[in-house]
């Protein structure tokens, strides 16, 4: 049953984000509608906001130690949702998923070593290694429902011993895909066979609309596997910057723990510990999460309905996870024309070619916003696409 956007709107609020130094809203003039940067325009869970306010009632904000229960709370959340058996010792705090990623690359690879990842994919996952002098080898997702080609992965790893690390985005940004258990098992097996470190970026896992599987469910404690986890997408708290990683292997995590500590990557701020404990520890916040997911589903239906009505040859990837709709416009426009259409419509979003070569002709549209704004943006965009494609 489609969920009516209007019903959801009663439950969530969409405050004006202008003049809050928002990356999404304040980097453009006020007449531009942004559907770009991956955060939500929904106000956060009231329980979380109150918890943060509560801390401010104590007027001293001095140096803080990690809170005693935070790691346990993180593990409980993960273990109950993903049927894992991760323990507190396997958790390392981090100021951000990408900060962790950079440290892992520097600790476990040398300049010139290669990193294998998939394409299209969230750009920093290939830009950062390249900036650090580690070339990237892509295994292109098969553009027939965007599948991972395990044979291609194995062939590439087997033929190039300088590939030291495989980076997975689970679920996958963009293309909205939740990876299945059998596939994840195969990837773990390939990495273990060729002694390649497997890093699974699971930042979007709690925003899945079908059951998602963590790589921790299909790997053994001795496997060289690291999971990058975070509540910043799930609970829309990216500005607080608090995340963590799970590393079951003692050998690997001992090295990482020292590195993170000496570089300050594990020293979170006071509000980050507070946030982690609250969102994962207080079930009231899960009500907010359900509402946010309902709104995203309703917005996705709105997007599909309105786009298809005017542009029937547009293909929109099924939304298995994330709030980043992946839209195929190749039946209508070239990349150049897509840019022109967005510019004229005064909307911002991400162009598919930013995510890798096989993203050409696609766009990534952030739909975690007020449905009224979404509808307006879609209308403006459709008008320009029709105008340009009709010549
Ligand atoms: C797949 C993925 N990984 C990492 C990040 C960034 O995480 P952080 O802000 O914790 O570095 C994003 C943000 O959009 C993302 O989509």
DSSP 271-337: HHHHHHHHHHH-THHHHHHHHHHHHHHHHHHHHHHHHHHH-TT-EE---SBSSEEEEE-TTT--HHH
Contacts of residue 31, Cβ cutoff 8 Å, sequence gap at least 6: 346
- Torsion angle (degrees, nearest 10) of CA 110, 116, 122, 124: 10
Confidence category of residue 8, pLDDT binned at 50, 70, 90? very low
Ligand 1 pocket residue status of 203, Cβ below 6 Å: yes
Ligand 1 pocket residue status of 232, Cβ below 6 Å: yes
Residue 41 has pLDDT above 70, yes or no: yes
Confidence category of residue 162, pLDDT binned at 50, 70, 90? very high
- Under DSSP, the state recorded for 39 is -
Contacts of residue 121, Cβ cutoff 8 Å, sequence gap at least 6: 169, 172, 173, 174, 355, 356
Buried b / exposed e over 213-223, threshold 16 CB at 10 Å, is bbbbebbeeeb
Ligand 1 pocket residue status of 243, Cβ below 6 Å: yes
List, in order of start, the domains of the chain with CATH numbers: 5-46+285-389 (3.90.1150.10), 64-281 (3.40.640.10)
Confidence category of residue 357, pLDDT binned at 50, 70, 90? confident
Beta strands in 9-135 (DSSP E): 33-34, 91-94, 114-119
- The pTM of this model reads 0.96
- Taking the CA of residue 100 as reference, the ligand 1 atom at the shortest distance is 11
Stretch 49-53: mean pLDDT: 97
């Amino acid at each position: 049953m489609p969920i009516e956007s209007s019903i959801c709107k009663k439950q969530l609020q969409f405050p004006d984000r202008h003049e809050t130094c928002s990356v999404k809203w304040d980097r453009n003039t006020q007449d531009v509608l942004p559907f770009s940067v991956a955060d939500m325009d929904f106000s956060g869970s009231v329980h979380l906001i109150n918890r943060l306010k509560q801390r401010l009632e104590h007027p001293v904000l001095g140096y803080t130690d990690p809170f005693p229960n935070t790691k346990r709370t993180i593990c409980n959340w993960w273990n109950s949702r993903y049927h894992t058996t991760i323990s507190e010792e396997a958790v390392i705090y981090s100021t951000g998923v990408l900060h962790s990623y950079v440290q892992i690359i520097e600790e476990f690879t040398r300049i010139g070593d290669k990193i294998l990842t998939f394409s299209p994919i969230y750009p920093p996952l290939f830009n950062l290694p390249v900036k650090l002098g580690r070339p990237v080898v892509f295994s292109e997702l098969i553009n027939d429902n965007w599948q991972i080609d395990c044979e291609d992965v194995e062939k590439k790893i087997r033929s190039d011993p300088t590939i030291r690390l495989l980076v997975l985005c689970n679920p996958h940004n963009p293309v909205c895909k939740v990876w299945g258990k059998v596939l994840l098992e195969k990837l773990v097996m390939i990495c273990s066979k060729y002694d390649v470190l497997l890093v699974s970026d699971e930042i979007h896992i709690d925003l899945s609309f079908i059951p998602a599987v963590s790589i921790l469910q299909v790997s053994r404690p001795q496997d060289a596997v690291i999971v990058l986890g975070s509540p910043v997408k799930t609970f829309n708290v990216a500005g607080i910057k608090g995340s963590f990683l799970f590393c079951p292997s003692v050998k690997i995590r001992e090295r990482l723990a020292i590195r993170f500590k000496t570089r300050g990557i594990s020293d979170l701020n006071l509000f980050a510990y507070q946030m982690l404990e609250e969102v994962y520890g207080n079930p009231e916040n899960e009500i907010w999460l359900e509402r946010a997911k309902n709104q995203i589903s309703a917005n996705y239906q709105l997007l599909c309905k309105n786009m298809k009505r005017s542009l029937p040859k547009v293909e929109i990837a099924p939304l298995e996870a994330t709030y980043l709709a992946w839209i195929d416009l190749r039946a209508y426009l070239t990349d150049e024309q897509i840019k022109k259409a967005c510019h004229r419509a005064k909307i911002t979003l991400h162009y598919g070619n930013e995510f890798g070569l096989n993203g050409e002709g696609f766009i990534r549209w952030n739909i975690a916003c007020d449905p009224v704004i979404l509808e307006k943006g879609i209308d403006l965009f459709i008008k320009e696409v029709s105008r340009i494609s009709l010549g």
